[in-house]
Amino acid sequence: MRVNMILDKINKPNDIKRIDPEEYEQLAQEIRQFLIDSISKTGGHLASNLGVVELTMALHIVFDLPTDKLIWDVGHQSYTHKILTGRKNQFNKLRKYGGMSGFPKRNESNYDAFDTGHSSTSISAGLGYASARNITGEDYHVISVIGDGALTGGMAYEALNNASSLKKNFIIVLNDNSMSISENVGGISRILDDVRSSYSYYDLKEDVKNTLHKLPNGDALVEKIKKTKSNIKQFIVPGQIFEDMGIQYLGPVDGHNIHKLIKIFNIAKRVDSPVLVHVVTQKGHGYAPAEKNPSRFHGIGPFDIKTGKSLSVGKGESYSAVFSRKICDIAKNDRSVVAITAAMPDGTGLDKFKKWFPDRFFDVGIAEEHAVTFSAGLAAGGMKPVFAVYSSFLQRAFDQILHDVCMQQLHVVFAIDRAGLVGSDGETHQGIFDLSFLSVIPNMTIIAPKNGWELENALEFALEHFYGPIAIRYPRGCAYTGLSEYAQPIEYGKSELIHEGSHICLMAVGNMMETALTTGERLKEYNIDATIVNARFVKPIDEDMICDIADEHELLVTLEENVYTGGFGEAVSRYTQMNGLNIRTLGIALPDDYIEHGNVDILKHEAGIDAEAVFDRIMETIADMKNNG
């Protein structure tokens, strides 16, 4: 029989304000159980969310949302916030097409003050809100919640530096669980470790003062410390680094003690300047498998609650795993190969490289801009750096790629994972712009392998037979194993003929080769024997091949999982027009838009780039060509 649950009383925003404080702990437990139950079915970001249950409850109790503005960094930890703002019943469709997003979305709820997904933006956005508030004369609080991992990102420091001049209240909550997706890295992380281990918790700061007061001459000692700003201040104020920047520091406080959290947020509210509240939490708190292995439960598919074991069936080796294996193979024989990640060693497959070649592995934190310029420096110093990075996270390093790598024509290899639609993370994470933003940069070369073998060959080509900036882009998920008989080694700028037909040519980029093959089969049913070409190079385009195709065909269809604007199809079409080639082009690509979350097959269909949609568009084009002579 189901007992009455306190969570049943949480149905609309601010219901938590009516809960008896004695029931807070019970409610926290019920929220945790709810998260475990529902994420075990849908998948999602579990460990981070389990860690912030009490923190989120306390923020909702102390602050007046949505008048006060609460901004979540990355936003993957906003599930309790969603529960507390009337979205509990939408968890069955979490990250599904048409369902609730896994990140804060202003168009989903007015309790979501700012859209996030990429890291280290919350302090900038919060400071913007606070500055707008000061100008308009409104009266509300702004609270940015940033994790210790997100605090490794450069933007966070740019924002802190800027925030120090603010004269009014702005609350930064540092949710410190000593983890990024993997273990956190770097100097700031070490400082936080020291704070955590030397100060049991916030009360101790007061305790130290009290203890000093009790000593003979204690009062004088406390006064002296206050006046001299001596190093002993460090002993009393653990967040010295923030205080020195003009940002008040409160903490550290136990992030699983809701009553202490409420107390400290009430103090933070009254501070007349930027204030950082250092909250110590445990990633995965309350669920043993996630506490034990927070990285695995950071983002997870459906799993068995009892054992914590994944319920997803492996369908083959992923592109990330192929990359992982190949870079290690090459690095065994070539000591100049070094690998760089921006806090994604597991997701990119560099975890293996880290184990085998620790001296040549660099996790720079969530710092893609730095990672690119750091790679440029490594290349200038004679190394062969491979920066493995998700497509959407590389967006923020545009100038570093242009100014620091390509302008100097340095030999940096970009291994661009998650290129194309990624699915449930949605619009912030779809890797659908890389072909466009990389194509405009002079000196850049771009390869998109058609299958796992070609990814291996592309990496070998990039590291051993090429000098200069080069990007290899491949999608999330299983590596395609088809077309294994087409294994001509990669030659600079050259595409690969897969099948010679007539009238129509399908020229596909990377994983769109599978779609091209299926479309080709479908066209055969209508007696159309289409030529099929693997583009391989997106930059430079294979001009000779395009001229040959134009001589022999009437329609050239380009296929890519990237927006059309600035992509492969646009480049090919421009080339045919500028050179007066007698061929019509049809660009199959994504629209000039952001693509929401959901199953990739559904998204491809909706965007008009799956085999069915491609076939329809080709038939329409053929009809149009016939009608217009």
Ligand X SMILES: Cc1ncc(C[n+]2csc(CCOP(=O)(O)OP(=O)(O)O)c2C)c(N)n1
Residue count of the chain: 629
396 part of the active site? yes
CB 356 within 8 A of CB 383: no
Nearer to ligand X, 50 or 583 (CB): 50
Among 57, 62, 74, 179, binds ligand DXP (CB under 6 A): 74
CA 583, 589, 593: angle at the middle one, nearest 5? 135
- 119 is a contact residue toward Mg ion (CB under 5 A): no
**Contact between 422 and ligand DXP (CB under 6 A)?**
yes
Q: What six digits make up the tokens of 592?
A: 């000039």
Q: Are the CB atoms for 261 and 24 separated by under 8 Å?
A: no
- Tokens read off for 46: 């579990």
**Residue 366 or 378 having the CB closest to ligand X:** 366
Which of 255, 347, 420, 566 touches ligand DXP (CB under 6 A)?
A: 347
Tokens of 311: 């319920």
Is residue 153 near ligand DXP by the rule CB under 6 A?
Answer: no
Q: Which of 54, 368, 496, 561 is catalytic?
A: 368
Q: Which is nearer to Mg ion, 187 or 442 (CB)?
A: 187
> Smallest distance, Å, CB 343 to Mg ion?
10
Q: How many CA atoms lie within 13 A of 381 on its CB side?
A: 10
Give the active site residue among 105, 260, 283, 476: 283
What 3-state class would DSSP assign to 396? helix
Q: Does 149 bind ligand X (CB under 6 A)?
A: yes
| Cis preceding-peptide flag for 66 (omega within 30 of 0) | yes
77 touches which of ligand X, Mg ion, ligand DXP, none (CB within 5 to 8 A by kind)?
ligand X
CA angle 476, 112, 286 (to 5 degrees): 70
* Contact flag: residue 553 with ligand X (CB under 6 A): no
What is the spatial distance between Cα 507 and Cα 389, in angstroms, rounded to a whole number? 26
- Asked if 299 interacts with ligand DXP (CB under 6 A), we say yes
Find the shortest distance in angstroms from Cβ 607 to ligand DXP: 19
Q: Does 476 bind ligand DXP (CB under 6 A)?
A: yes
Question: In this structure, what token pair is assigned to residue 183?
Answer: 């273990």
Among 31, 55, 150, 498, binds ligand X (CB under 6 A): 150
Flag whether 477 is marked binding: no
Q: Which of 177, 248, 430, 558 binds Mg ion (CB under 5 A)?
A: 177
Nearer to ligand DXP, 474 or 615 (CB): 474
Distance CA 593, CA 519 (A): 25
Q: Is 368 annotated as a binding residue?
A: yes
Binding characters for ligand DXP, 166-185, by CB under 6 A (x = yes): ---------------x----
Contacts of 604 (CB under 8 A, 6+ apart): 421, 561, 610, 613
* Active-site annotation holds for 243: no
Q: Is 371 annotated as belonging to a binding site?
A: no
Question: In the complex, what is the shortest distance from the CB of residue 175 to ligand DXP, in angstroms, rounded to a whole number?
Answer: 14
Q: Which is nearer to ligand X, 119 or 324 (CB)?
A: 119
Q: Are 19 and 83 in contact (CB under 8 A)?
A: no
Report the nearest approach of ligand DXP to the CB of residue 418 (Å): 6
| 512 contact choice in ligand DXP, Mg ion, ligand X, none (CB below 5 to 8 Å, kind-dependent) | none
- Alpha carbons within 13 angstroms on the beta-carbon side of residue 431 total 20
Report if residue 149 touches Mg ion, rule: CB under 5 A: yes
Q: Contacting ligand X (CB under 6 A), which of 145, 156, 181, 507?
A: 181
Please name every residue paired with 93 in a beta bridge, in sequence order, or none if there are none: none
**CA-angle at 219, arms to 214 and 222, nearest 5°:** 105
- DSSP state string for 538-564: EES--HHHHHHHHHHEEEEEEEEEEES
Look up 368 and say whether it is catalytic: yes
Q: Is 76 annotated as a binding residue?
A: yes
- Cα-flanking dihedrals φ and ψ of residue 472, to 5°? -120, 120
Choosing from 78, 177, 189, 324, the residue that interacts with ligand X (CB under 6 A) is 177
Per CB under 6 A, the list member of 69, 76, 352, 450 interacting with ligand X is 76
Where are the strands (E) in 474-530, listed by range? 496-499, 503-508
- Counting contacts by CB under 5 A, is residue 148 touching Mg ion? yes
Residue 621 burial (CB < 10 Å; 0-12/13-18/19+)? Answer: middle
Q: CA 199, CA 59: separation in Å to the nearest integer?
A: 23
Closest Cα partner for 192 from 365, 420, 390?
365
Residue 407 beta carbon to ligand X: minimum distance, rounded to whole angstroms: 23
For residue 257, the partner it binds in ligand X, Mg ion, ligand DXP, none, with Cβ less than 5 to 8 A by kind, is none
> What token pair was written down for 415?
């291994």
- The neighbouring-strand residues paired with 253 are 279
Catalytic residues: 283, 368, 396
Residue numbers belonging to the annotated binding site for thiamine diphosphate: 76, 117-119, 149-150, 177, 287, 368
Residues lying near ligand DXP in the complex (CB under 6 A) are found at 45, 74, 76, 181, 298-299, 347, 418, 422, 425, 476
Residues lying near Mg ion in the complex (CB under 5 A) are found at 147-149, 177, 179
Residues lying near ligand X in the complex (CB under 6 A) are found at 48, 51, 73-74, 76-77, 118-119, 147-150, 177, 179-181, 283, 342-344, 366, 368, 393
